[in-house]
Amino acid sequence: MLCLAGCFARAVGRSGGRAGRAVAGRGGRAGRRPRRAGGVRGGAPARQQDYPGRVASARTPVLLSTSSVFPEPTSAAFDVAASLGYDGIEVMVWTDPVSQDVSALKVLTEHYGVRVGSVHAPCLLITQRVWSPDPWERLRRSAVLATELGASTVVVHPPFSWQREYARGFGAGLARLGHTFPGIAFAVENMYPVRVRGREFVPYHPGWDPTRTGYDAYTLDLSHCAAARNDALVMADAMGSALAHIHLGDGTGEARDEHLVPGRGNQPCAELLSSLASRRFAGSVAVEVATRRAGSRDVRRADLAQTLAFAREHLASASTVDTELAGPRLRSDGLS
């Protein structure tokens, strides 16, 4: 996410005013647009037919991260998700005031009929003072936001190496939050080392690979695997049954976080998605691709539509394989 953080930082001056008016800016149109039937109320998902293009047999929800429409504001992600047929939204909490405002987000879920499935806590360099300079308060407020919106996952980064006190109590603190918010999975995300001029350093404590420490829940980010030059399938194996959430994006192994559309890099995106049924994965997949260089909104939408189709195709193949494997077991138990 460091690459995204840098891009966010460069664009704050340009888009801060627009972000602050995100709901109001689209609100004129929103006020005139009829609400979708079966919209989300209190975080409950709308009926399947209310999402255009949804595959009825899909077992794993595919969410659109609000970071995927940057530099457009948070509200634009709801519009795109609804029109393309995503199952929901991952809210990236950052400097856009709408991303921090539960009331504004509820208005967007009601209007567009798209639920919020996960919340990305403000862990980026640029978000270190969103809500509070205290990282525990930021996580607590992320959990409150998730609870209010009916989301089941809060994505968390490992502590930065300079956050020494936070890092010392990170595992125990997550456990306490888990007791306070029993319906929320605090899913720690795999990161990557930073390489500059032939040198490598790790800006996270105790490291970029959370499986070496061990947590109750994980987020697997394929773009981060590429930047770390780490095998995503091996990491999924290491996460095991604690794998709760996936950030879908691609990468080429460059020394940066690329977040490419799946198929434009060399990561095993298709293989991972197809393996989820056999892994008994019960979480969600959030599309987190960088479209900031898209030449137009149409190009951005085309990239996000392509990524959704990719995810649905390979998740559906996983469900088919799982059903075929389950059939003989069910018959041998005399249940068919």
Structural domain boundaries in the chain: 2-29+58-332
Q: Is the pLDDT confidence value at 160 over 60?
A: yes
pLDDT at 59: 77
pLDDT at 43: 34
State pLDDT tens for residues 9-38: 333 333 333 333 444 343 333 333 333 333
pLDDT at 253: 85
Cα torsion 24, 153, 253, 199: sign: positive
pTM: predicted TM-score of the whole model, two decimal places: 0.78
The band of 73, judged by pLDDT with boundaries at 50, 70 and 90, is: very high
- 227 vs 13: CA distance, rounded Å: 28
State pLDDT tens for residues 253-273: 887 889 999 999 999 999 999
The band of 108, judged by pLDDT with boundaries at 50, 70 and 90, is: very high
Respond yes or no on whether the N-terminal peptide bond of residue 61 is cis (omega within 30° of 0).
no
Q: What percent of the chain has pLDDT over 70?
A: 77
The CATH homologous superfamily for domain 2-29+58-332 is Divalent-metal-dependent TIM barrel enzymes (3.20.20.150)
Enter the DSSP assignment of 332. H
In total, the chain counts a number of residues equal to 336
Residue 299, CB-side half-sphere exposure with 13 Å CA sphere: 7
The band of 252, judged by pLDDT with boundaries at 50, 70 and 90, is: very high
State pLDDT tens for residues 290-312: 999 998 999 999 999 999 999 99
